[in-house]
Structure 1
């Protein structure tokens, strides 16, 4: 009977170690899970101008950024002689701000009879260095590239 209890004790001791042992997931699996959990369609902070950085509310900061960007686009288009001739009321640009703060514009919607898209694209490309420095958007503290559509409404003939 003593041998029976000793045999049972050692059997339990050897098999119980398998129940306590936890499976450690590999680093690739952990990375895959984490990347899957992140919502890549949203950023933590939107791009921002230095003058908007002092705002603590994210919504106010976003509004400040878009107002300032809209103002700068209108300023560039109004100062260019080609646009002064035109009677464009509004234009849509696809704006890309890279993780290293470079800005690019691509005309999305404009009345082609008044001004061709390629002309607006070349104007914006020519003047892109005249824009104020923009801080890129961030995701988990890392600068990321963002794209959005900016609808610019203006009347260039009313200076």
Structure 2
């Protein structure tokens, strides 16, 4: 009979031990989620040319320069005829998927710019299509989606 009481006591004590471990695990997860910065990545998106750089900020600067240059090349290579001087900044909300696919999610283009450069959307889409392979951002060892806004300054001096 004492053996039965011993097993019942042992069973009650072991159940309390399981509950404590569960609470500790939830506390650790909660603490990590509180300290986790959802707006930062461990490694920014990158092009192959940027991969040789070591420092995180150097890779970021390389990516920003390269993506800006690619948009500039497409816009500059097309012969645009505009009858008046004007200056505008276009803001593109870009999304790079976990697979490295680039897309424009929002275009902030003034009506005047659309009138003066009617094929601006086509040129921006062409820039996206001609973009070299993009390596996605990395967060905690996983490829993640990133969103950012790219400003493009357009200045036209008519001759």
TM-score by length of 1: 0.71
What is the match of residue 81 of structure 2? Answer: 85
Relative to structure 1, the CA distance from residue 65 to residue 58 in structure 2 (aligned partners, 3 Å threshold; closer, same or farther) is same
Q: What is the match of residue 95 of structure 1?
A: 94
Q: Superposition RMSD on alpha carbons, in Å?
A: 3.7
Match of 1:6 in 2: none
The question of whether the paired residues in 1 share the 8 Å contact of 2:74 and 2:126 is answered with no
Query: What residue in structure 1 maps to residue 62 of structure 2?
Result: 64
Which of structures 1 and 2 has the bigger CA Rg? 1
1:43 is paired with a residue whose SS is coil
1:139 is matched with: 139
Displacement of 1:21 in angstroms is 3.5
Consecutive unaligned residues of structure 2, counting only runs of 5 or more, are 1-5
8 A Cα contact 2:71 2:127, kept in partner: no
SS at match of 1:113: helix
SS at match of 1:147: strand
Runs of at least 5 residues in structure 1 that lack an aligned partner in the other structure: 1-10
CA drift of 1:120 comes to 3.1
